[in-house]
């Protein structure tokens, strides 16, 4: 039973790390899109 608990904790840590990476990637992509939008002249307002 102890092994299962440890394994579950490891899986939780992995999932948490993946979520952190995903969040960081999302924010980076958002920043890139914002920069691209600012560098382009607004087409139609």
Asked if residue 12 belongs to a domain, the reply is yes
Block residue for tokens 């952190």 = 20
- Find the distance separating the first CA and the last CA of the chain, reported in whole Å: 63
Q: What residue numbers bound the domain in which 5 lies?
A: 1-38
Q: Give the pLDDT confidence of 19-41 residue by residue, as tens digits.
A: 999 999 999 999 999 999 888 77
Mean pLDDT along residues 12-21: 98
pLDDT at residue 39, as a whole number: 84
Instruction: Compute the half-sphere exposure of residue 34: CA atoms within 13 Å on the CB side of its CA.
Output: 6
Structurally, the chain folds into a number of domains equal to: 1
- Is residue 44's pLDDT more than 80? no
Helices (H), the chain: 2-39
Asked if residue 22 belongs to a domain, the reply is yes
More confident residue, 40 or 17: 17
pTM over 0.75: no
pLDDT at residue 45, as a whole number: 66
């Amino acid at each position: 039973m102890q092994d299962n608990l440890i394994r579950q904790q490891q899986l939780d840590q992995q999932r948490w790390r993946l979520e952190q990476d995903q969040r960081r990637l999302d924010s980076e992509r958002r920043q890139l899109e914002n920069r691209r939008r600012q560098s382009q002249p607004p087409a139609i307002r």
